[in-house]
Structure 1
């Protein structure tokens, strides 16, 4: 049985994804996808990645979840994961 390798996307900290996050969330909603991004204070205090993005429904066959140490990292990973799931996010 082959094991699927998980590849982390190469993130560009200057991509501006933080500035576009609300537009991305709005676009996902227009596509029938429920999505949110949140920060967890307990995980910050524990030194864990505190930002989480979750999306489900619409064209997504399965729910998507990504975590990151910053909002930009979390959303960069989210865009990568959404594209791998077949959703062409216009960003």
Structure 2
């Protein structure tokens, strides 16, 4: 999943979706899932967020949420 993360973000940008993935050091210290994906705009009527314990897990959850929202990510 990590191999295609940048391709997914670029594709989302081309669709008019603002998207990012980040790691939060404070959440690492607190033992919570530190990775967050957030997206809004374009074909998304509401913003969405997905969290995970790794970048791959976070993006896998994000893809599920995007598809549920009607965004057919081709990766």
TM-score range, shorter chain: over 0.9
Larger Rg: 1
TM-score when normalising by structure 1: 0.82
TM-score when normalising by structure 2: 0.99
Query: Where does the alignment leave 5 or more consecutive residues of structure 1 unmatched?
Result: 1-16
The ranges of structure 1 where at least 4 consecutive aligned residues each deviate by more than 3 angstroms after the TM superposition are: none
| 1:86 corresponds to | 70
Write the deviation string for residues 28-71 of structure 1: whole angstroms up to 9, x where unpaired: 00000000000000100110000000000000010010000000
* CA distance in 2 between partners of 1:46 and 1:64 (Å): 23
RMSD, aligned α-carbons: 0.3
**1:56 and 2:40 equivalent?**
yes
Number of residue equivalences: 75
**Structure with a larger share of its residues in helix:** 2
**Match of 1:37, SS?**
strand
| 2:53 corresponds to | 69
Query: Where does the alignment leave 5 or more consecutive residues of structure 2 unmatched?
Result: none
